[in-house]
Structure 1
Amino acid sequence: MVQHLGATPVVPSAQFLAGRVPKVYLAAPFFTLAQLWLVEQTRTQLQQFGLDVFSPYHDVGVGSADEVVQADLAGLREVDFVFAVADGLDAGTLVEIGYALARGVPVVIYCENEGEEDLKMMSGSGCIICSDYVSAIYRALWTAVSL
């Protein structure tokens, strides 16, 4: 089954069609109420699409670098792709994006408020960047089914 979205077809992989559930890493800052709300909303929506979501906030929690960094990186090593919220250019989120890219893991980025210059490295390294939330969520789903 091929679904056409503009000029880009979405082709489900054989693994997905056989029932494999893709795993996504939710990279996002979670320091303000607004950021926490977005992390909760995004995690819920990705789960409602049937994806297995690793969320550092939910699955590791907050703590010192010694308490969280290795657990977050371990989570990144176990996922099929990353969904990142890049608004604010949070250092932790940028490291997670870079780590994923270095490992060849696809990255979908939601970012409304940063300029092209700030996103140059991500854009030039093949990340899918969406400036509206709904498009980003659907691009994440389309990425998941094609892996």
Structure 2
Amino acid sequence: MDTREYPWAGTPEVRTSAAGLSLCEAAPECEKNATAVGVVNFGRGEDTGENRAEFLVLAFPDAGAAHQAYVDIVEDIEELRVLTFTKVELESRGEESQGFTMGRTSDPAWRNRSLLFRHGAFIGLAHQMDDPTARRDSRILSLSSLLADRLEEANGGKPG
């Protein structure tokens, strides 16, 4: 991460289950089959807005289980009670991907964007939040590229 844009890094959280994870709330295959979940946040500070990023990674026993969970999430994501997601076209990552805009979408100065994608046995979510700069529409592309590279490494450099 560029420390000039994201000088603060949160403590990574790692879990052995996706139970209770809001992203998997309407996706039972995700909650049932994820073997590990990792989340880390970056930004200006723990409690300050403006230009924050979140990365979430879900690991599954194999690519088939990850695919089923990905499909389940994308099909059911609009049913989430915690956040409001709207599907948008963003640059593709991994083997399957879907972009979302969420949060305060009526104010384009504070548009939150996410890219959910699957690479092999992993699902990644790159989330750009509260970016008041002119780069707010494109920052998700560099964030998701960074995460996609890490997932490819974790997948042993294999396409899937």
TM above 0.5, yes or no, is no
Greater relative contact order, per chain length (Cα 8 Å cut-off, separation 6+): 1
TM-score (norm 2): 0.30
TM-score (norm 1): 0.31
